[in-house]
A = this chain, B = another copy of it.
Amino acid sequence: MDEFGIIAKYFAPLAGEGAFGLKDDAALLAHRPGHDLVVTTDSITEGVDFFGFDPSPSIARKALRVNFSDLAAKGAVPAYYLLNLSLPHTVTPDWLAGFAQGLAEDQKEFGVTLMGGDTGATDGPLSIAVTAFGFVPSGKMVRRSGARAGDHVYVTGSIGDSGGGLAIFRRENHSLSDADRDSLIARYRVPEPPVTFASMLRDIAHASIDVSDGLIADLGHVASASGVRIVVEGERVPLSAPLRALWGDNTLQRAVTAGDDYQIAFTAPPGLTGPFTPIGRVEAGQGVGLTLNGVELALPSRGYRHF
């Protein structure tokens, strides 16, 4: 099937108002009065962010959600997306049907529509770039740069589960129950960014980031952008029971560097309660520290992606 056939069959049914059924050169993004338009783009690639054997609906959902996570961390609610697909020649109609089904499910879950994209063949790995658009009330986008000394640090959800799922795929030894194993794998395959939390976040947060590179690394971005020091109190970092069962005594240090969490880390005034966990504090200085019951831990370094 050619590019036009693939678009007409699988993607045109997902098109929203202003996308003209994906049959024009461009789309119109309607302005929402009183709001700012927030945009982010992130690619996922086979062998790096997912496996070729992952179910195609979950690959589609991961491609969307890693972007919705960025929007949520800025206090924005997703509205539209674009899709750039590089498809290996081995992709089948069944695979595409499942992929479109995953997109359709998440469109329904998150209230978004497809506004355009392109589809090409590649001799390389399957690669999917999504560009996501969201709206935030004017002037209310939460930046990385607003953290101030005296803030506390909070995080949604639990940290490290996706990294645990990946470790299992990499044949790390474990004696988990099937249920625990599957719960970690599910977190790797389909992130659960706290999209509905965005509206609360923008009213309380001074600074915010989505946890994708790893909790310590991402808080490092906040510390750097804000000109402050962030101390993570390791005993407070939310770690799931399946992850503790997998990684034992190493859970904390592996979890805070694993990445792919797609939760939100933010700084805000002390003493807040809600669907998040306090995990540390903001001080004068620079960089990120990690303590366990008051004792400073050596910071595990994280591998960089080399070119």
Of the stretches A81-89, A149-157, A177-185, A268-276, the one at the interface is A81-89
> A74 to chain B: which residues have CB within 8 Å?
24-26
Q: Are A210 and B28 in contact (CB under 8 A)?
A: no
The CA of A38 and the CA of B20, in the complex, are separated in Å by: 12
Binary per-residue interface labels of chain A (58-94) against chain B in the complex, 1 for a CB within 8 Å, 0 otherwise:
0000000000001101101000001010110101000
Q: A190 within 8 Å of B by Cβ?
A: no
Size bin of chain A's contact surface: 35 or more
Q: Does A115 contact B (CB under 8 A)?
A: yes
Is the Cβ of A23 less than 8 Å from the Cβ of B82? Answer: no
A82 CA / B70 CA spacing, docked (Å)? 15
Which among A41-49, A104-112, A235-243 touches the partner chain?
A41-49
Whether a CB of chain B sits under 8 angstroms from the CB of A278 is no
Which residues of chain A in 82-137 are interfacial with respect to chain B, using CB atoms and an 8 Å cutoff?
Answer: 82, 84, 86-87, 89, 91, 115-118, 120-125, 127, 129, 131, 134
Interface presence of A307 (CB below 8 A): yes
Is A6's CB within 8 Å of the partner chain B? Answer: yes
Q: Does B25 contact A40, Cβ atoms closer than 8 Å?
A: yes
Hey, which chain B residues are within 8 Å of A307, CB to CB? 1-2, 6, 87, 89, 91, 121
Check A120 against B23 for contact (C-beta < 8 Å): no
- Cβ contact within 8 Å between B38 and A28: yes
Question: In the complex, what's the smallest C-beta–C-beta distance from A82 to chain B, in angstroms?
Answer: 5
Confirm or deny: A305 has a beta carbon within 8 angstroms of a beta carbon on chain B.
Answer: yes
* CB–CB A41/B82 < 8 A: yes
Segment at the B interface, from A29-37, A168-176, A282-290, A293-301 = A29-37
Sorted nearest first, the 8 A-B pairs with minimum C-beta distance are A124-B124, A2-B304, A26-B40, A25-B70, A84-B129, A29-B37, A26-B38, A26-B74
